[in-house]
Copies of this chain bind each other. A is one copy, B any other.
């Protein structure tokens, strides 16, 4: 039976998602040798940090890339991928703020754009064959560039250790500063950093200090609480501490605050899409503050039925985004539903940061359905306590009829 395997001879130019790390540094020469093709490096700046970007173009060229494109996706990522997801309230398996998941579709989309520009006939990523990211990249590629071939070296080559990768580069005289051992596997962008591996591989081990890359240990955080105010419009953060900031700038500002106070750490065992479980420590300092802010404004604005639907949408969205289904009609539909619910989610909150916690202490909204007047005792103009009798009677009518039936039958 014929395989859909790539005819290697047909591949002339490949765009590879290049990080400057060991894996993707190996991928460039490997592609050239194995596919006899030109390799274009594509670097997505999603806020992973300056140190990873310094000199990256030179590094790519030194590894054998013919060109290197760098795209600054930071604002777009926060505005068009993170904010819409935040509105849904998505927390994967109740905890994970989807930091890695949300970055993948925008990187894939920008990579496809470079491929179109340079006339490439294949796309390549450096994700392993056991993880979610391969699905997220290739799911995006299938939706955006079904005509381009996809090369996933980790599912193809025989290299299985850092040592082999380093040897591979050394044999080819490609300079590489990567260390022989690397205990933890990390992924960072403006929103979060994840840490896997090492001591975390045994779930009975508590994370140690090395498992946390950004945030201060809550026990070492300031003994004084600090307060930040966040302004929300249509479900999006538009100002922080009185300053109107862009989505990315808001995130940077809140990251700084969160990091200082040890906010946004989680330690989770999660179900990967590919059927196995993994354990990771994730830090999302600013994102955790944003999430608290949005949910607090929602408390004021959404009615009961809308709130329940938003919760359901959040559960669904968490799986969709985690599973790499961003560029699907289902995801668009779900985001349209959430966007509609967010129309009235305007307001302002004050959040207390203290020893690892972000707690909303004050909140208000022009669209608040909370009314001091309605909720408290005494007469008012919209609620008459006598109404409750009728409400309850009808609300429980089916129970009553059922119980009366039972009583009649047991006679």
Contacts and interface: CB of A to CB of B under 8 A. Distances in A.
5 contacts: A138-B392, A204-B364, A276-B374, A382-B401, A389-B390
A270 interface: yes
A302 interface: yes
A273 B304 contact: yes
Interface string A120-154: 00000000111000110011001111110000101
A302 to B, nearest CB: 7
A71 to B, nearest CB: 22
A394 B399 contact: no
A21 B160 CA distance: 45
Contact of A386 (B1, B352, B376, B395): B1
Contacts of A328: 303, 305-306, 399
Interface string A56-89: 0000000000000000000000000000000001
B336 A336 contact: yes
A229 to B, nearest CB: 11
A370 to B, nearest CB: 4
A387 interface: yes
A275 interface: yes
B357 A276 contact: no
Size category, A interface: 35 or more
Interface of A: 1-4, 89, 93-94, 128-130, 134-135, 138-139, 142-147, 152, 154-158, 160, 197, 201-207, 218-219, 225, 267-279, 295-296, 299-300, 302-309, 311-312, 315-316, 319, 325, 327-330, 332-334, 336-341, 343-344, 350, 352, 354-357, 359-364, 366-372, 374-379, 381-405, 407, 409
A-B interface, 6 closest residue pairs, ranked by CB to CB distance from nearest? A390-B390, A129-B385, A275-B397, A387-B390, A337-B337, A271-B304
A299 to B, nearest CB: 4
A396 B277 contact: no
B357 A333 contact: no
Given A4-B384, A361-B206, A396-B139, A312 B312 contact: yes
